[in-house]
Structure 1
Amino acid sequence: PVLNLRLLAFSLAIATCLLSFLSAYAIVYFRICWAGVAFALILATIMLPVDIRVITTYQVASNVFSPINALLDVTGLNGLIAGVFGAPVQLELSVLNTRFGLVAPLAAHGTGTFLFRQFFRTLPGDLFKAARMDGAGPVRFLFDVLLPFSRTSFAALFVLVFWSGRTSCLSLP
């Protein structure tokens, strides 16, 4: 049980760090029309505790493709597919009782994105332009420039998420 708990907490910490790093990178360094709105929605996840999201998280984990099924129903594509092929499309994939099903809903949290976004904004804006002039693309800039600078942010977020994930997994039945 202790090894399983540490494995889950480690997986949660790694997934949260990677997802937060990449989402903050996209928000800060790419020209996205609705970046401010996207960041506000990401920050809204900080205000919603896991206890409030339990029922919807369970519904999505019981069938990962339920949003796609709902989209097919709302747009009328499912009726069109049923008319052509004789049966509507019903995609199903359950991640209940899996480690992925336990880690994935907890990994997407706005705290890490906020941490990395604030750190990226402290870096000079000309750093990205200088890397471009040197021939570095977005991926090379990410790995060769931002990743080494972000070691302390990674370490801080990893420790916070590991300990909070470890304590939240302790409360599971």
Structure 2
Amino acid sequence: MSHGSWLAESYDVRVAHDCDTAFRELDATVDAAVPDRQLPDGTGNDIVAGIRERDLDCGIAFVTAAPPEQGVSKLEFDEYLRKPVRRDELRDTVDRLVRMNEYGHILREFFAVTGKKSLLEAHHPRSELEQQDEYQQLVAREAELEDDLAEIAARFTPDQLTAICSQVAEETYES
């Protein structure tokens, strides 16, 4: 059984056996990419570079027989799985990548909402703000996002959360 069929039970899977096909299949709807490091017409590194050039927001897990070589720390990937990979290992990895992506989106929205709320609070009296629907919507959305973040965060290790927050902060300051 192929890795794609293992994931098809839970995800909408697109399978590519070469870089050309992968580049045609990659778009903003992709939550996780699982390239091999060695492909007939290039490498998984080429796919990662293409994902980053297109500014696609997806997790990346290499699944490969190739051992990590010097310089692997410079590659932008989230997980590195050595073949043979077990079905549960692959599914757990992709589940984690999808949750990380979801957490990053919610964290970005949380920062935006709290930033707008703080901006309003810095320039207007709280008593005035509490009378405005716009401010009340921000307060309500902030509470919803806090709950969502706590629920998702409970499924990560502290190191994984640190990595996600670092990535979101890096993306925020690059913009």
Superposition TM-score, scaled by structure 2 size: 0.26
Normalized per residue, the structure richer in helix is 1
Superposition TM-score, scaled by structure 1 size: 0.27
Instruction: State the structure with bigger RCO (CA 8 A, min sep 6), 1 or 2.
Output: 1
Normalized per residue, the structure richer in strand is 2
